[in-house]
Structure 1
Amino acid sequence: MLEITGLVAGYDRTTVLHGVSLTVPEDGVATVLGHNGAGKSTLLRAALGLIRPRGGRVLLGGEDVTRLPAHQRVRRGMAYVPQGQQSFPQLTAMENLRLIADGRRDGRAALEEALALFPALREAASRRAGLLSGGQRQQLAIARALITRPRLLLLDEPTEGIQPSVVAEIQRTILQLSARGGLSVLLVEQHIGFALRAAQRYHVLEAGRVTGSGEGGEAAEPAVRRALSV
């Protein structure tokens, strides 16, 4: 679904990504692991087109989207959930969801599907998003992205600062979505166990370079921890 080859990107005069290459399988999950400052978030932003690359290529479903702006990549099926459990805090959970669903031909059905994936949001539908727990806000952010019915979902550290029970629920949701087909996921994560259980393939990013790749699963954890010197 996604093929990144020799990607070079950064901010102003600072280069953050130095020739990064990786793939996300069709209807599968790939994870990018690395320490703070490794370039993980920059990688997602460059993949979506929020940062213009200085070199390399980004292919979505075989189409070269390297020079396309972010909104055109979204139209082609990308969705992005950044760090920080972002929402409109003064709106209710339901209003946040309807803001995305309204005006879409299949918006109502997509909204109901999102609520089915995250039942806690239905229970908290009338609460302001700013008053939700961190886990609920993260589920809300993912649900909003899913309402757009993406082909590729980019998730930036969805487990950051949330309780273990919600981490497990988000993991189950990611696996459920990839198993039913029609959605690929690029997951940036520091929680090694969660990331490897959710992914078919992993990539280790260090100082803007891929230093290791392999098949996901719990069996890969020792090799990943050695690569990260954790």
Structure 2
Amino acid sequence: MSTVLEITALRAGYDRTTVLHEVTVTVPENGVAAVLGHNGAGKSTLLRAAMGSIRPTAGTVLLDGEDITRLAPHQRVARGMAYVPQGQQSFPHLTTAENLRLVADGRPDGRRAVAEALDLFPVLGELSGRRAGLLSGGQRQQLALARALITRPRVLLLDEPTEGIQPSVVREIEDVILSLTSRGGLSVLLVEQHVGFAMRAAQRYFVLEAGRVTSSGAGGTGAESTVREALSV
């Protein structure tokens, strides 16, 4: 399986504190790579470094073989990356429809992209007139995902999309991710603590501990026990 995003020997952190120590993670083309680990392991820092929100002190980030390590976040977006951070982010005082239109405006296929997003998450159409701040956590997460997908990314970075969400919505999000990657044209770097969800979705997994990859391998449900054992250490 070919690789679309390749993070190699990445070292990054905040001020003088190094959080990631020579981390290497690869994302398969039209597939999912899951990064798992306990709180403080460096998972969110990895996504921020991949997106360019923080600048690494060593290592490289390649997108389709192009070195994007020094590119700004907006330049990475232009090349087909999208990032959904932790916390179901949206504009709370805008309606669901307004949140979607804000991303779609100015895009040649904006209306079509919104329609496709609503097909993936029908509940958003039912709640189009409701302010985003009044949506449930699961509905806000679906809105955040829909907003990212309207940009038609090649690579989608997801930071714990199932955190604090009811199981039925977790399954819906999982189904959407699997559907999109199976169609082709989308790859996902997924940060998760929900091992079952991650292993059902991922072709590759990486376990982070104290900013280092301590275990990695092929994903799938058969790897779940191995991952749980790695996380218990």
Same fold (TM > 0.5)? yes
Please tell me whether residue 146 in structure 1 is matched to residue 149 in structure 2: yes
Equivalent residue number for residue 168 of structure 1:
171
- Aligned amino acid, residue 18 of structure 1: H
Equivalent residue number for residue 8 of structure 2:
5
Equivalent residue number for residue 221 of structure 2:
218
Give the TM-score taking structure 1 as reference length. 0.99
Please tell me whether residue 181 in structure 1 is matched to residue 192 in structure 2: no
CA distance in 2, matches of 1:120, 1:195: 24
Residue 22 of structure 2 aligns to a residue whose secondary structure is strand
Please tell me whether residue 119 in structure 1 is matched to residue 119 in structure 2: no
CA distance in 1, matches of 2:74, 2:20: 22
Give the TM-score taking structure 2 as reference length. 0.98
Please tell me whether residue 228 in structure 1 is matched to residue 218 in structure 2: no
- Aligned amino acid, residue 148 of structure 1: T
For residues 147-195 of structure 1, what are the alpha-carbon distances to aligned partners after superposition, in whole Å with 9 as ceiling and x for unaligned?
Answer: 0000000000000011000000000000000000000000000000000
The one of 73, 94, 98 equivalent to 1:95 is 98
For residues 107-133 of structure 1, what are the alpha-carbon distances to aligned partners after superposition, in whole Å with 9 as ceiling and x for unaligned?
Answer: 111110100000010001110000001
Equivalent residue number for residue 25 of structure 1:
28
CA distance in 1, matches of 2:118, 2:209: 37
Residue 108 of structure 2 aligns to a residue whose secondary structure is coil
CA distance in 2, matches of 1:123, 1:15: 45
Residue 59 of structure 1 aligns to a residue whose secondary structure is strand
CA distance in 2, matches of 1:26, 1:62: 12
Equivalent residue number for residue 38 of structure 2:
35
Residue 35 of structure 1 aligns to a residue whose secondary structure is coil
Equivalent residue number for residue 131 of structure 1:
134
Unaligned runs of 5+ in 1: none
Aligned CA-pair RMSD = 0.6
Please tell me whether residue 59 in structure 1 is matched to residue 62 in structure 2: yes
- Aligned amino acid, residue 124 of structure 1: L
The one of 109, 112, 124 equivalent to 2:112 is 109
- Taking every aligned residue pair, what percent have the same amino acid on both sides? 78
Residue 46 of structure 1 aligns to a residue whose secondary structure is helix
CA distance in 1, matches of 2:227, 2:138: 26
Residue 127 of structure 1 aligns to a residue whose secondary structure is coil
The one of 196, 200, 211 equivalent to 2:199 is 196
